[in-house]
Amino acid sequence: MRFKQKLILWIEEYLFYPTPLQQLLSALLLPVTVIYCFIKFVQKSSAKTYDFGIKVVSIGNLILGGTGKTPFTIALSKHFANTAIVLRGYKRKSKGLYVVSNKGKILQSQEISGDEAYEYALSCPDLIVIVSENRGAGVLKAKELGAKVVFLDDGFSKREILKFDILLHPKNEPTNLFCLPSGGYKEPKIEYLNADIVAREEVDYKRHINFSFYNATNRTFVRINTLPENLVLVSAISKPQRLFEFLPEGIKYEFFEDHYDFVKEDIMQIQAKYNTRNIIVTKKDFVKLQKFDMDLYVIDLEVEINTDIIGQVSEYLSRL
Query: Residue 164: which pLDDT band, with cuts at 50, 70 and 90?
Result: very high
Domain containing residue 108? 45-205+304-319
Residue 1 has pLDDT above 60, yes or no: no
Let me know whether 145 and 294 are in one domain.
Answer: no
125 inside domain: yes
Residue 4 has pLDDT above 90, yes or no: no
Let me know whether 110 and 155 are in one domain.
Answer: yes
213 inside domain: yes
Let me know whether 252 and 274 are in one domain.
Answer: yes
27 inside domain: no
Task: Provide the pLDDT for residue 223.
Answer: 94
Let me know whether 160 and 289 are in one domain.
Answer: no
Query: Residue 294: which pLDDT band, with cuts at 50, 70 and 90?
Result: very high
Let me know whether 73 and 198 are in one domain.
Answer: yes
**Average pLDDT of span 242-268:** 90
Task: Provide the pLDDT for residue 320.
Answer: 61
Let me know whether 314 and 179 are in one domain.
Answer: yes
Per residue in 90-128, pLDDT (tens digit) is 889 999 999 999 998 999 999 999 999 999 999 999 999
Task: Provide the pLDDT for residue 262.
Answer: 92
35 inside domain: no
**Average per-residue pLDDT in the chain?**
93
Task: Provide the pLDDT for residue 241.
Answer: 85
Q: pTM (2 decimals)?
A: 0.92
26 inside domain: no
**Average pLDDT of span 220-238:** 93
193 inside domain: yes
Let me know whether 170 and 236 are in one domain.
Answer: no
What is the count of structural domains for the chain?
2
15 inside domain: no
Residue 174 has pLDDT above 80, yes or no: yes
Residue 145 has pLDDT above 90, yes or no: yes
3 inside domain: no
Let me know whether 73 and 95 are in one domain.
Answer: yes
Residue 158 has pLDDT above 80, yes or no: yes
Per residue in 183-194, pLDDT (tens digit) is 999 999 999 999
Residue 58 has pLDDT above 60, yes or no: yes
Query: Residue 247: which pLDDT band, with cuts at 50, 70 and 90?
Result: very high
CATH number at residue 75: 3.40.50
**Average pLDDT of span 47-56:** 95
Let me know whether 198 and 276 are in one domain.
Answer: no
Let me know whether 265 and 212 are in one domain.
Answer: yes
Task: Provide the pLDDT for residue 157.
Answer: 92
Let me know whether 188 and 84 are in one domain.
Answer: yes
Find out whether the peptide bond into 228 is cis, omega within 30 degrees of 0: no
